[in-house]
Amino acid sequence: MKKRFFVTGTDTDAGKTYVTVGLLNAAQRAGLKSIGLKPIAAGADRVDGKLRNDDALLIQQASSVKLAYEQVNPVVLEEAIAPHIAAMKEGRLITVSRLEGFIKGALLTPNAFALVEGAGGWRVPLNDRELLSDLARKLEFPVILVVNMKLGCLNHAILTAEAIIRDGLTLAGWVANSGSEKMPCYEENLASLTSIMSAPLLGVLPWNESEEDSTQAFDELFLAL
C-alpha cells in the first residue's frame, strides 16, 4: 500500500525540509522506494546557468527513486520572497492545476512512499485567487504539520491544525521541531500542544540531538505514520 503525505509547517523555516529529508532517509533505511517533491520553491541560485533551490536539492538527494531536478521542483523562483510575488516579478503565473499536474506526473514513477513539501505555511498565496492549501486539497494526501517550537508556536500550530481539518483533509499528526536553540519553557509548551492538538504528536526532534539520536528519532517518526 502506497503512503503519501503533504508536509506543511507553522511558518517559513519551521523545519519542513529537515523533516521531509529525515523521513525520506528513514524510508530508504526501511527499504522502500521513496520520492520527495518540492513543487514550488522561492529562493534559488544559478548552477550551470539553471536555477536550483537548496531545499529541493536536498530532497532530490534523499529520495531513493532518482528523478530529474525539474520533476522534483518544477517551479523554481529566484527571489526568496512570497512565491506569488516572486512569480509576478518574473512575469509568471502559478496555478493549482499546473502544480497538481506536475506532482501527479512525477508520482507515476513507481514508489511506495512519497512526500510533497509545501512552501512557507498553510495559507501561502499562489496567485490572486488560489492558495497553496488549495493544492493540498486537490491532492487529498494526509498532512504532516511541522511545528517550529519557538515563542508563538501555540497559536500558529493550533490555527494551522484547525485550518487543515476545516479544509476537509486528514491531519496525520504533528512534529515538534526545536531548531538550533531550545525555547524557554519548552516542556510546558510541548505539553500544552500535546493536550490541545486534535491530532497525534508523531515525534519530537530535540534541539541538541546527535546524528545517532536524529536517525533514531526519524525512524520512530516514520514508523508512526
Give catalytic status of residue 104 as yes or no: no
Could you tell me the pTM of the whole model? Answer: 0.96
Query: What integer pLDDT is reported at residue 206 of this predicted model?
Result: 78
The residue range of the domain holding 106 is 3-224
Report the alpha-carbon distance of residue 205 to residue 149 in Å, rounded. 10
What is the pLDDT, as a whole number, of residue 127?
A: 97
Beta strand pairing status for 143-148 and 171-177? Answer: parallel
pLDDT given for residue 211 in this prediction? 82
The set of residues, in sequence order, having a beta carbon less than 8 Å from that of 122 and lying 6+ positions away, is 8, 132, 133, 136, 160, 163, 164
- Residue 205, domain CATH: 3.40.50.300
C-alpha cell read off for 217: 528519532
Residue 1 has what pLDDT? Answer: 78
Dihedral angle of Cα 117, 23, 115, 149, to the nearest 10 degrees: -30
> How many domains does the structure of the chain reveal?
1
Catalytic residue among 3, 38, 50, 104: 38
What is the spatial distance between Cα 193 and Cα 161, in angstroms, rounded to a whole number? 11
CA distance 13 to 147: 10
Residue 51 burial (C-beta neighbours within 10 Å; 0-12, 13-18, 19+) = middle
Angle between helices 96-106 and 132-139 (to 10 degrees): 40
Tell me the mean pLDDT per 10 residues along the chain, length 225: 95 94 97 98 95 98 98 98 96 97 98 97 97 98 97 96 98 91 90 96 84 90 96
